[in-house]
Structure 1
Amino acid sequence: MPTRVHEFAWPDRVVIGTIGLPGARTFYLQVRAGAQIVSIALEKQQSALLAEKIDEILDQLITIDGNPFSIPTGTPVELVDNDPLEAPEEQFRTGAITLDWDPTTAQVVVEAYPLTDVDTDDDVEPLSEIVAEVPEMLLVRMPVGTARAFAKRTREIVDAGRPMCPLCGYPIDADGHTCTLPEV
């Protein structure tokens, strides 16, 4: 079965956003180019790690003599996107995500694959074979400024969740919190 690739080479918009209240939010990676829009669900931790790794790549590239890719140190003001998601229809729930750098176009490349069910038999296929059978994937190429803005917004979205209890370190729900202090 051929893989259906949702490819965005120069997206108009690429953001992480959420639907729902803190504690019950669904995270989406949403990409739009013209009339084409794709939304994939992912976990909060996947969102946070994606932002962290994008910033790490960009920060490493800044250290190259002369900054040949014009990597911004901060988020370009004109690329800040605080708008809500555009009515997300979940294309798939994300399992694996890969992150890469394309020096020929000076773009961060994100590939997202759906969550797959893997049997726990002795005949488990290697990951490369599982990925090859994935019916669809998302491929996004982000220019460096867009990638920096994406990472900043993602960190803000992730941090906008439930506050943490200063005593036990667990999230405090809107309807209250029973603190369970760790044993000493």
Structure 2
Amino acid sequence: MVDHVYDPPERCVAGSVGPPGQRTFFVQATDGARRTTVSLEKEQVRLLGTSLVQLIDEVAPREGSEEAAAAYLDNAPLDAPFDDDFRVQRLSIAWQPERERVVIEAYDRPDIEDLMGLDPEGDYPWDGLPPQSLAIVLDAPRARAFASRCTASLEGGRPGCPFCGQPLDPSGHICPRANGYRR
């Protein structure tokens, strides 16, 4: 069962808050006065954006073209407050061919198969709490516009090391390509 369903949302955006190196990434879905905000890892935002583009290019390249998506680009900031409803542990995207819609689902815990073999007496952060989830249903142009917003939210981070590509902190970093010397 999905807790928060937006089919379709009035607004669906990805964004980040905080200085480079300390940013928190969010996805927000809004419909009238109702808003759901979930926090994600930077890599989850990157994979969500690239996966959406690949899916749209495969199943709806004409309907979800960049030209069609341009009308739905949303460059406005995230809506405050930035309190997340839950932290995303698992994401999925799917195509509904009968409706020609993309479905993005986010869950606050991993799939049960991912937990198989782990300590059955393990202490998980969600123990005792009901599961939470978010489903966002978008047509192809809106999904591509959302994917563009995912990519834009990643920009403005820390610059990369010219030798190894890892992010540089203001104080530098231990560079593996320089045999551990600080760059």
- The residue number in structure 1 matching 2:145 is 149
SS of residue paired to 1:56: helix
SS of residue paired to 1:85: coil
Q: Of 10, 22, 45, which residue of structure 2 is paired with 1:24? A: 22
- Conserved in 2, the CA contact under 8 Å of 1:75 and 1:152? no
- Conserved in 2, the CA contact under 8 Å of 1:58 and 1:71? yes
Q: Of 65, 72, 78, which residue of structure 2 is paired with 1:85? A: 78
Q: Structure 1 74/162 Cα, relative in aligned 2: closer, same or farther at 3 Å?
A: farther
- The residue number in structure 2 matching 1:171 is 167
- Conserved in 1, the CA contact under 8 Å of 2:66 and 2:141? no
Q: Distance in 2 between matches of 1:74 and 1:176?
A: 42
- The residue number in structure 1 matching 2:41 is 43
* Residue identity in the other structure for 2:18: G
Offset at residue 19 of structure 1 (A): 1.1
Superposition pairs for residues 30-179 of structure 1, below 5 Å? 30-62=28-60, 67=62, 70-74=63-67, 76-87=69-80, 88-115=82-109, 118=115, 120-121=118-119, 135-173=131-169, 175-178=170-173
- Conserved in 1, the CA contact under 8 Å of 2:5 and 2:134? yes
- Conserved in 2, the CA contact under 8 Å of 1:113 and 1:134? no
**Runs of 4+ more than 4 Å apart:** 116-119
The CA deviation string for residues 40-82 of structure 1, in whole angstroms up to 9 with x for no partner, is 010000000011110011001246xxx5xx2324463221111
Identity of aligned residues (%): 31
Structure with greater proportional strand content: 1
Q: Distance in 2 between matches of 1:28 and 1:5?
A: 18
Greater shift, 102-111 or 73-82, is seen at: 73-82
Q: Distance in 2 between matches of 1:182 and 1:111?
A: 39
Q: TM-score, normalised by structure 2?
A: 0.82
Q: Distance in 1 between matches of 2:71 and 2:178?
A: 49
* Residue identity in the other structure for 2:21: G
The alignment covers a number of residue pairs equal to 169
Cα root mean square deviation, aligned:
2.6
Q: TM-score, normalised by structure 1?
A: 0.81
Q: Which runs of 5+ in 2 are unaligned?
A: none
Offset at residue 122 of structure 1 (A): 6.1
